[in-house]
Structure 1
């Protein structure tokens, strides 16, 4: 998938622990872990807003669009 989640990078830069962020935004640490790994199919805008508010960042700071290289296998199908 061409969308990469870089939430873990932003959390490290801000020295934020998963436990603290999960508690603030109202999700479990397990679900936050799945989000950080990019293993979710979507994210609610209110959750994204809460993350950005807590980390004082923009959505583009934690979500990146990465173009697939021509001829590269589609990761979603692997």
Structure 2
């Protein structure tokens, strides 16, 4: 199973930079990058709450569960197209 983080989608919708977002949430840009790239192993509820407050969204707008076979399929498609 994989949790896909969709912060980049919400940032793009609001035309908000990673730096601006990080400052408003109270994170470093490096930590936002870790979250954005799916490398985070955990997210505090207080951080998730701050991200939702800043973006005016729900947690489900930022996080999505995708079955393993879909994750592997998507990765294979990216490799083939690149």
TM-score interval w.r.t. the shorter chain?
0.7 to 0.9
Deviations 1:13-42 (A, max 9, x none): 111111111111111000101100010001
Task: Return the structure number with greater helix share.
Answer: 2
Indicate the SS of the match to 1:64. Answer: strand
- TM-score, normalization: structure 2? 0.80
- TM-score, normalization: structure 1? 0.84
Shift of 1:69: 2.2
Aligned Cα root-mean-square deviation (Å): 1.5
Structure with greater contact order relative to length (CA < 8 Å, sep ≥ 6): 1
Aligned counterpart, 1:15 = 15
* Whole-angstrom distance in 1 between the partners of 2:20 and 2:69: 37
Gaps of 5+ in 2: 73-82
2:24 equivalent to 1:30: no
2:46 equivalent to 1:41: no
* Whole-angstrom distance in 2 between the partners of 1:13 and 1:25: 17
Runs (4+) of structure 1 exceeding 4 A deviation are: none
How many equivalent residue pairs?
71
Gaps of 5+ in 1: 73-78
How is 1:34-73 mapped onto 2 (pairs within 5 angstroms)? 34-69=34-69
